[in-house]
């Protein structure tokens, strides 16, 4: 294909993807108020095939957001509430004896879906966490003697409650590293919260059988999906066409390298962090209508990509430092805001 | 060692009356008692078996008249040392268990080395003769008496302790002294790592304008140029993302941001950026043209 034609096709494909993204965002906006950044992170994870960990207190519409996204793009969606007594077979699936045929039959678990919401992942025992994280990494699972590929796209969105830590199993750094992004949700702004309340007051009831039930936000989206899996695949391809300059790569390398020599950081970012930062920046550039990445993408995503991959040393923790404050120091040093 | 009680005082009056009135058998017992009472006086006349110098010897159940006795205070010249192990009442008198040892050979009367508890001299005591013998041959030369010597030149042990103490304190003060940051003495280090943004920026700009700046340094140049405007506009405290968003909206800073984006990040296009024109304002930038750096450490 001549270069000019290829460029035109690429431009058309990018424009189509941008329209698709706009449609998805507007559909989600009908159900979820605010949370633009979380929606952006969800789309980044979806377009790059990474996984997303959401940290936030209950009641911030995490489940609603993911369910709405799945319905908007016509994706299979499953939700698993992680508890202490959950077993790997509960999410992966297991072999059961079919009494009619006297043979073992595989029953696939909720992992066989496009979008899996792993609610409160840190409440499950480590063996369940590792079973899920293995599937996230390899995108296939073995049940009995048979290995099954997971559907494509396959995206895990896990949630963690940062407040209640008793009876939980904290994810170790090696497993956290599997999550491309870890986004910390915050409370909505007062204006957004006012809008949430107004919408909730207008929900009313829904007649069902001979009775009625109160309508919830899950009932709001009555329209069909605005995108298909094909649109999603096209978006994923468009992300790969986003230009990454050598200068941007140098920025990423220097920033990641700084985490390895910072006096307050015991465990710096791995090369996987650099890869994630570059891939996520590409997706963010596309979501913002660009076909090239710029340093703003890096700065916008640094927290979500790097914070969960860094471990502060004892002295920093004793001084009352947080990962966010150290990363801020690091970004100031990286951007020459502080003199050395 | 004396195991039999030594009765060194005359028998009490009631006992003497009893002797006169009892039957002949009782008279015989009293006679035996009287014999026993008289026996210590015979012992006191002759010193007991000799004991070597330094070996403790014990006298038990010895009855001595009068108020309680204690050993006299010791001096360097005391030839025999006495310790009273036990005191029990014995009629109007007291019964003692004594332990003694000799320091000098010879015959001694232990009664001379006792006094009343209130410090009064012990009068009216019978003799308690003891003999201390020596295993060494007679005429043994005694060790030479110690003499005072002059202190050594530095004053000896006490002065040495003072010197050691002073040195220890000096070391402690040196350890506790707040350290200053190590002064960079290597000139090459100073040249490699400029301390101010202006010093860092100038060579990068000059090299970029002359086309000598390596590609790997373009990222550093971009960050240095961006921070110039962050400092000028007082955006040091803003997050990098917020600061850049404000720079893009600022009428003076936004052209630089746009041009940098085209030059360094966009896919190669026909719209080339005039690098010399873009960087000219920053070629000879002075430190005072930039705002202050962020110095404090965030928590």
Q: Which domains does chain A have, with CATH numbers?
A: 1-188+224-241 (3.40.50.300), 243-340 (1.10.8.80)
> Does the ipTM exceed 0.90?
no
> Considering the domain boundaries, does residue B33 fall inside one?
yes
Kindly state whether residues B105 and B203 are assigned to the same domain: no
Q: Can you give the pLDDT of all 299 residues of chain B as single tens digits?
A: 444 444 444 334 444 444 444 444 444 444 444 444 433 433 344 556 788 999 999 999 999 999 999 999 998 888 999 999 999 999 889 999 999 999 888 899 999 999 999 999 988 899 999 999 988 876 666 777 778 777 666 677 888 899 999 999 999 999 998 776 665 555 555 555 546 777 778 888 888 888 888 888 888 888 888 888 888 888 878 888 888 888 888 888 888 888 888 888 888 776 677 778 888 888 777 766 665 555 544 44
What secondary structure letter does DSSP report for B93? E
Q: B10 and B114 in one domain? A: yes
Is B44 inside a domain boundary? yes
d(CA B218, CA A251): 9
- Determine, yes or no, domain membership for B245: yes
In angstroms, the CA A253 to CA A250 distance is 5
Residue in A closest to B214 by C-alpha: A247
**Among B133, B154, B178, residue at a domain's last position:** B133
d(CA A140, CA A149): 4
φ, ψ at B105 (rounded to 5°): -70, 150
Show residues of chain A in contact with B270, CB under 8 Å: none
Rounded CA separation B114/B72 (Å): 5
Let me know if residue B171 belongs to a domain.
no
Of B193, B226, B230, the CB nearest to A340: B193
Say whether both B15 and B108 belong to one domain. Answer: yes
Counting Cα atoms < 13 Å in the Cβ hemisphere of A317 gives 7
Tokens matching residue B129: 């003769």
Q: Do A328 and B193 touch (CB under 8 A)?
A: no
What predicted TM-score, i.e. pTM, was given to this entire model?
0.65
H or E element, residue B203: helix B197-209
**Tens digits of per-residue pLDDT, A1-60?**
445 666 666 677 778 888 888 888 888 888 888 888 888 999 999 899 889 999 888 888
Q: Give the residue from A180, A185, A156 showing the smallest Cα distance to A306.
A: A180
pLDDT at B164: 95
Give the total number of structural domains in chain B: 2
Q: Which residues of B touch A335 (CB under 8 A)?
A: 223, 226-227, 230, 240
Q: Is residue B162 part of a domain?
A: no
Q: Are B105 and B33 part of one and the same domain?
A: yes
Print the SS3 string covering A285-319.
HHHCCCCECCHHHHHHHHHHHHHHHCEECHHHHHC
pLDDT at B136: 80
- As a three-state string, the secondary structure of B45-84 is HCCCCCEECCCCEEEEEEEECCCCEEECCCCCCCCEEEEE
Residue A131 · residue A93 · CB < 8 Å? no
Beta strands in A161-303 (DSSP E): 181-184, 205-208, 211-214, 265-267
The three-point CA angle A209-A210-A212 to 5° equals 80
**Is B58 within the bounds of a domain?**
yes
DSSP structure string for A109-144: -TTSSSEEEEETGGGS-HHHHHHHHHHHHHSEEEET
Domain that holds residue B106: 6-133
Q: What is the least distance, in Å, from the CA of A60 to any CA of chain B?
A: 24
Find the chain B residues whose C-beta atoms sit closer than 8 A to any C-beta of A. Answer: 193, 195-197, 200, 215-216, 218-220, 222-224, 226-227, 230-231, 236, 239-241, 244-245, 261, 264-267, 293-295, 297-299
Inform me whether the C-beta atom of residue A209 falls under 8 Å from chain B C-beta atoms.
Answer: no
């Amino acid at each position: 294909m001549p270069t000019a034609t290829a460029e035109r096709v690429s431009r058309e494909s990018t424009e189509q993807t941008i329209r698709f993204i706009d449609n998805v965002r507007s559909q989600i906006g009908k159900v979820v108020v605010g949370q633009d950044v979380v929606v952006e992170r969800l789309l980044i994870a979806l377009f790059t095939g990474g996984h997303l960990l959401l940290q936030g207190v209950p009641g911030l519409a995490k489940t609603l957001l993911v369910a709405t996204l799945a319905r908007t793009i016509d994706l299979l969606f499953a939700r698993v509430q992680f508890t202490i007594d959950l077993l790997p077979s509960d999410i992966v699936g297991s072999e059961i004896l079919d009494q009619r045929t006297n043979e073992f039959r595989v029953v696939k678990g909720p992992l066989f879906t496009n979008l899996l919401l792993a609610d409160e992942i840190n409440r499950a025992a480590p063996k369940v966490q590792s079973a899920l994280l293995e599937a996230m990494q390899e995108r296939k699972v073995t049940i009995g003697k048979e290995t099954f590929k997971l559907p494509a796209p396959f995206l895990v969105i896990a949630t963690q409650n940062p407040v209640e830590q008793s009876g939980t199993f904290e994810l170790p750094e090696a497993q956290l590293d599997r999550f491309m992004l870890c986004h910390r949700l915050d409370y909505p702004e007062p204006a957004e919260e006012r809008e949430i309340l107004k919408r909730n007051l207008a929900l009313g009831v829904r007649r069902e059988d001979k009775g009625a039930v109160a309508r919830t936000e899950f009932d709001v989206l009555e329209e069909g999906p605005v995108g298909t899996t094909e649109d999603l695949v096209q978006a994923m391809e468009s992300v790969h066409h986003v230009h990454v300059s050598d200068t941007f790569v140098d920025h990423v390398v220097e920033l990641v390298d700084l985490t390895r020599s910072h006096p307050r950081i015991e465990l710096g970012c791995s090369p996987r962090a650099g890869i994630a930062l570059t891939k996520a920046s590409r997706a963010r550039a596309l979501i913002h209508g660009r076909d090239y990445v710029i340093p703003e993408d890096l700065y916008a995503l640094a927290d979500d990509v790097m914070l969960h991959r860094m471990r502060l040393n004892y002295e920093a923790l004793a001084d009352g430092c947080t990962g966010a404050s150290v990363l801020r120091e690091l970004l100031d040093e990286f951007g020459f805001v502080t003199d050395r | 060692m004396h195991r039999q009680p030594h009765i060194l005082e005359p028998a009490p009056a009631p006992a003497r009356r009893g002797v006169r009135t009892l039957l002949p058998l009782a008279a015989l017992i009293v006679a035996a008692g009287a014999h026993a009472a008289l026996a210590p006086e015979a012992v006191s006349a002759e010193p007991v078996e000799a004991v070597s110098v330094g070996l403790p010897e014990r006298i038990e159940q010895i009855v001595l008249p009068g108020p309680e006795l204690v050993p006299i205070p010791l001096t360097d010249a005391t030839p025999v040392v006495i310790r009273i192990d036990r005191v029990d009442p014995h009629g109007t008198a007291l019964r003692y268990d004594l332990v003694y040892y000799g320091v000098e050979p010879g015959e001694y009367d232990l009664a001379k080395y006792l006094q009343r508890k209130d410090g009064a001299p012990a009068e009216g005591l019978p003799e308690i003769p003891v003999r201390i013998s020596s295993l060494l041959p007679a005429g043994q030369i005694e060790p030479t008496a110690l003499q005072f010597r002059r202190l050594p030149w530095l004053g000896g042990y006490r002065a040495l302790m003072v010197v050691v103490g002073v040195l220890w304190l000096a070391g402690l003060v040196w350890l506790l002294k707040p350290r200053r940051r190590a002064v960079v003495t290597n000139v090459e280090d100073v040249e490699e790592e400029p301390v101010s943004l202006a010093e860092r920026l100038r060579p990068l700009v000059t090299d970029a304008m002359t086309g000598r700046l390596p590609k790997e340094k373009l990222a550093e140049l971009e960050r240095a140029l961006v921070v110039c405007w962050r400092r000028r506009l007082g955006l040091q405290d803003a997050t990098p993302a917020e600061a850049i968003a404000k720079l893009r909206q600022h009428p003076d800073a936004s052209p630089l941001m746009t041009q940098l984006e085209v030059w360094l990040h966009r896919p190669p296009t026909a719209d080339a950026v005039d690098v010399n024109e873009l960087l000219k304002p920053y070629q000879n930038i002075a430190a005072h043209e930039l705002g202050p750096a962020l110095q404090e450490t965030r928590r």
